[in-house]
Structure 1
């Protein structure tokens, strides 16, 4: 890995945070949809924001590894991994913008669909 700290690759360390945040967003969106309790919509907005910010950092570390290693670029799954994560990050960014609206319109139905 080109992006590492003390020999430990940064990308695998960071990706767990956006994964947890995006799954948490789906769960809190469902909770808001079922209860209309404003707290759940606030949780979703914060989880999305943290997930997108750390996701961008993870993407930078992953791109550094991808561009820095010829053997990595030769793997077809590496290209799928990069493209899939880029799609998720872009969708999550738009979901984050949607979640800035008023609670009900931020979650139902568009926010919930994007979270899923």
Structure 2
């Protein structure tokens, strides 16, 4: 039987330290000020009325995403490796497996283990 003082208290398991609480409060304050600024810009009656609020961080993100395609340089070694792993290797593995299966089947037919009239591929050719 477990002792009364095992050192494990489920009520203290998910308690935040005072430093973590300060960080949480700081993030909450930042979110509140950002939300207030956004609402102020959104509900400004003297704005142009386009309904779009320009955010430089979002613009940087979208520009970086579009520049990714302009700056992409394919490397021949990676392309050949991917082509081999996606096309050549699976087809080779499939052909090897089918060839091995057929050889095994015809070996069993030739040895008499499978009768000729019960052959699986009798009407194939």
Structure whose alpha-carbon radius of gyration is higher: 2
For normalisation by structure 2, the TM-score amounts to 0.27
- TM-score, normalization: structure 1? 0.29
Which structure is richer in relative contact order (CA contacts within 8 A, separation 6 or more)?
1
Name the one with the larger helix percent: 1
